[in-house]
Structure 1
Amino acid sequence: MLDFLHQDKDPATGKVMRRVRSFVLREGRLTDGQRKALQTLWPRYGLERGQGALDPLAVFGRDAPRVLEIGYGMGQSLAAMAEAAPEQDFIGIEVHRPGVGALLLEIQERGLSNLRSYCDDAVDILKLCVPDASLERVQLYFPDPWHKKKHHKRRIVQPDWVTLVHRKLAPGGVLHMATDWQDYAEHMIAVMNNAQGFTNTAGPGAFAPRPAWRPETKFERRGEKLGHGVWDLLFEKSPLAVEPES
């Protein structure tokens, strides 16, 4: 777990190669249940970057439509989606171990066979472990908005990231993002408007209503009571899209 903490070194200089990441590890305290889940359930439901490219037959015992969620928090929403769609397989990526432990408990309690998790950097996992054109949907719900202007470079939604996601989506696959920060929503749609090979399912420049597959979270309901907005963006990869040159 947490393979990304072992940073790679430049083969020429031997120096550690650092890059701007979209997260900071401020790990909270693990509960006894979460700690036990990481010890006993991770070997069964956890995925490691060291395993290389994901083999769906080995992991799930089938080759079904796959959904990838980046930054699932404590995992209740992702587990609910997996439970509601047994015909699909779900993969989560989360860097915070309390959230991973909580998801493992949800998998066990719900008896889910179609949900697995990485505890790692999502960008690295996309590059190293997710085969091209293999995902039906990529989900990014309520990522850290990095609201200070000097931190906007840390936002995960950037042109290079969108190009990477495009490569991993199957033709007709969907990138679904949601945020409760209007400034970040506007940033997202500006990036997507300039991305090649995507079509806004809600129409040019428009935000989408929350689709049925995204459960409404307690955090979201609380925000709505306080008058906060929520913006969903759904962009479909063109069935005839040509991958941009990297």
Structure 2
Amino acid sequence: MPPQPQPRPPRSYTAFWTNGLCRELAREGYGGLRPTILFGGPYTSMPGFVRAGVRPGDRIHPVRVHRAELHVLGTMEVARIVPYEDAGSVLADEDYAKLLFWRSLKTNSVTEVLLGPPGAPLTFDNPVPRTVLERLTYTSDRRGDRGVKFLAEGRLTRPHSVQGIYRLAPHSAADLDALVRDRHRRPDAAARQAAGVYLRPGPGCTQAASPAARRFVAYGHADHRQVP
């Protein structure tokens, strides 16, 4: 039996999403949905969470770099990590339905599946303020702390230093958590429309026109949609 990892406090990480993926997710209507699944793999385009040190109890912040700004897209707490090749046999029907619903996140090189309770609603336009970006710190047990590289007057000229999965220093994890919370305390009409959410008569009912929302209803995940 392999040795079990030693207990440790929960950590927070950023996971880089490409602009191409974000455009596809926005087009398919995933904006405003609360992620319950993430995928990891062996390549730069789909890096592995386990290799980065992620364990159940940790929090993942998807990020993107768009027009020289770092955007924090949401957050999800990891409850379970399973090998992708075992997902069909070990996941309950409800969890496997979530995997199918979030399949737009995966590539052909997936090796692991992260499951969690519904996270913060996804948004693709939540820029990190200059003051937060300039003090953003990643940390590593082997290499210590580092800041974000390629910063010029508060602009992120290259995405290289955030591409991948990296552990946040505690103060930076708190900063990103606050940005996600603040973004969804004041949802405006444009954000609700982008999320594809419309109420119709009847408790707990949602009507959504986007492809993702139709799949959302079909898979029975109404509790994962953020309804402002």
- Tell me which interval the TM-score lies in, with the shorter structure as reference length: under 0.3
Q: Which has the higher strand share?
A: 2
Normalised by the length of structure 2, the TM-score is 0.23
Higher RCO (C-alpha 8 Å, min separation 6):
2
